[in-house]
Amino acid sequence: MPRIEVDGITIEVGGDGFLSDPDIWDEDIARLIAKYDGIEEMNEKHWAIVNIIRDNYEKKGMAPMIRVICKETGLKLREIYQLFPLGPARGACRVAGLPKPDGCV
Amino acid sequence: MEKITKDKIKAGLEVLKDLQDSKLISHLNSCVHCGLCADSCLYYLTTGDERLIPASKVDMVSSIYRRYCTLTGKVFPGLVGARKLDDANISEMVDLLYGACTMCGRCVGHCSIGVDIEYVIRAGREMLAKMGYVPASLQATVDAALESGNNMAIADEDFLDTIEWMEEELQDELNDPAASIPINQPGKNVLYTLNPREPKFFPLSIVAMAKIFYAAKETWTLSANMYDVTNYAYFSGHPKHSRIIAQRMFDEMQKMQAKKLVLAECGHGSRASRWEGPNYIGKEFPETLNSVELIAGYIKSGRIKPDKELTQEIVTLHDPCNLVRSGGIVDEQRYILKNTVKNFVEMTPCGVDNFCCGGGGGQLAMSEYNDRRIKIAEIKAEQIKKTGAGIVATPCHNCVDQLSQINVAYRLNVQIKTMAEIVADALIIGYP
């Protein structure tokens, strides 16, 4: 099982770096994955995005549309791409502990 | 992995025993093991692993053909290197054909005798699909499309809400409250399609294309019912699934009574609708073109006029394999760039001999082989670095995603854009 290691802590992930078990997710894990991606500190905006994604996943079993993320957080579309340089799927959804979304992402 | 059964073997062998496919049989029997394909393949070049040479992948399929379809293979399998369909060989086959091939077809052009290696790989995948061995993550993307109508399972109301939102963006950008993104309007000149990743996560490319349509004064529409340009069953290999998806696109075209079907910037989607589609459904598609052909036509005929001075940065071009090497759409995107940006620089090699981004063949969807996918992209990363470009343009959303990942993994520090985005950024609205 592949792992990612940050600050001496190891998390088990799938081949694509998404959490193997989305249920073990917590805020510490989110911080670790974010740090692994080069986001040294999660700010309020990062958390707002991650919490919306997590909430949507727990209710509907999938990642929300970028539309929903913008609407709920009040953030501009381009700001989201800047906050998560790997994009909404491989960046934000991964930090939020979701499985990899299907399709060309 | 599920164990092999007699029924599964029978289902898999149907592909090899199809007497109508004389092309497959001749290409299975033609490899002379010269090894020239090795140096054309990303997997071999970046790993040096001889298992991953294209000829080895062909032999994986042809050895099974020899075992079950030739007399010597049935009687003396050891003599002719015939292999049977057992669990070990199937696991090897899955690893080689799904996990170690982007179906980029570069080896085909380098083959000394013209074996259509990609065709053989696709047939091998078809066997595995019929036996039920498609990697789970790839099958999930196909299932999402079959069940929901698009490969990211976007609900109708979410789609409509997103398009409405992007229409507002378009109106703001153009400062024209009448600018629109039309949906479900029959009888237009163009029925336009999307890659579901656009409405789901990256909707600005929809605005870019809408801006081009606006500038060209085109009459066009999207369909909320069927807008998905992709057909992941082309990668998974199950003919029934690829047929269902191609048929949907054909039916929608009939329903919307548009003059032209315009395929979004998607390599395999263009291939699966335009070139493979008629074979899947046994009917010819109506006039179908890729959006780069449409945009190049707008520029040639003077319907739109990009301002080259607006993009001074060096721009290079990545060639999506299915569109360029397989589809022969080579010049249109170059014509667009030469007329849209100030500094266009080709990478080496380019055009039909360009390397795959590493994300083709369904690799992007298959989590199982993620590390390999990033590893083989070393070559693309080097190609991009050598151009000194600040922007990489490519007419394929799948390539865009892979390039965006290697941009981070190999610290390229470039911007990745679709052709529509490059053109939209350079448009002078109100011309002529």
pLDDT per position as a tens digit, B289-338: 999 999 999 999 999 999 999 999 999 999 999 999 999 999 999 999 99
Say yes or no for a CB contact (<8 Å) between B161 and A89: no
Say yes or no for a CB contact (<8 Å) between B204 and A14: no
pLDDT at B2: 87
Sequence-separated (6 or more) residues with CB below 8 Å from residue B370: A14, A15, A16, A17
B168 domain residue, yes or no: yes
Say yes or no for a CB contact (<8 Å) between B195 and A104: yes
B1 domain residue, yes or no: no
Out of B271, B296, B321, a domain closes at B296
Same domain? For B190 and B230 the reply is yes
Say yes or no for a CB contact (<8 Å) between A77 and B203: yes
Same domain? For B388 and B357 the reply is yes
Domains of chain A: 3-95 (1.10.10.370)
Check pLDDT > 80 for residue A2: no
The one-letter code for the residue type at B323 is: L
CATH code of the domain in which B260 resides: 3.40.50
Q: How far is B400 from chain A (nearest CA, A)?
A: 9
Q: How far is B195 from chain A (nearest CA, A)?
A: 8
A80: nearest Cα among B396, B200, B174, B359? B200
Same domain? For B96 and B231 the reply is no
Give me the phi and psi of B317, to 5 degrees please. Answer: -125, 130
Q: Which of residues 365-384 of B touch A (CB under 8 A)?
A: 365, 367-371
In the predicted model, residues of chain B with pLDDT beneath 70 are 430-432
Same domain? For B163 and B289 the reply is yes
Range of the domain at B188: 150-296
Same domain? For B109 and B181 the reply is no
CATH code of the domain in which B68 resides: 1.10.1060.10
B430 domain residue, yes or no: no
Q: Please report which confidence band the pLDDT of residue A4 belongs to, taking 50, 70 and 90 as the band edges.
A: confident
B139 domain residue, yes or no: no
Name the β-bridge partners of A6.
Answer: A9
pLDDT at A6: 83
Q: How far is B408 from chain A (nearest CA, A)?
A: 7
Of the candidates A66, A86, A101, which has its C-beta nearest B203's C-beta?
A66
* B275 CB within 8 Å of a chain A CB: no
Same domain? For B118 and B174 the reply is no
pLDDT at B223: 98
Same domain? For B221 and B280 the reply is yes
Of the candidates A77, A87, A103, which has its C-beta nearest B141's C-beta?
A103
B393: nearest Cα among B348, B341, B323? B341
pLDDT at A7: 83
* A67 CB within 8 Å of a chain B CB: yes
B12 domain residue, yes or no: yes
Same domain? For B177 and B269 the reply is yes
Same domain? For B82 and B109 the reply is yes
Report the chain B residue with the minimal C-alpha distance to residue A19: B367
Q: How far is B200 from chain A (nearest CA, A)?
A: 5
Residue B367 structure tokens: 């989590």
Contacts A103 to B, Cβ<8 Å: 141, 144, 151-152, 195-197, 200, 230, 365
Out of B296, B328, B347, a domain closes at B296
Same domain? For B402 and B362 the reply is yes
Say yes or no for a CB contact (<8 Å) between A68 and B152: no
B432 domain residue, yes or no: no
Number of domains in chain B: 3
Catalytic residues of A: 104
Integer Cα distance of B417 and B405 in angstroms: 13
Check pLDDT > 90 for residue A1: no
Integer Cα distance of B420 and A95 in angstroms: 30
pLDDT at B19: 81
Tens-place pLDDT, residues A57-99: 999 999 999 999 999 999 999 999 999 989 999 999 999 999 9
* A24 CB within 8 Å of a chain B CB: no
Mean pLDDT of chain A: 93
B363 domain residue, yes or no: yes
Q: Please report which confidence band the pLDDT of residue A104 belongs to, taking 50, 70 and 90 as the band edges.
A: confident
pTM, entire model? 0.96
Same domain? For B154 and B98 the reply is no
B352 domain residue, yes or no: yes
Same domain? For B365 and B265 the reply is no
Out of B269, B296, B323, a domain closes at B296
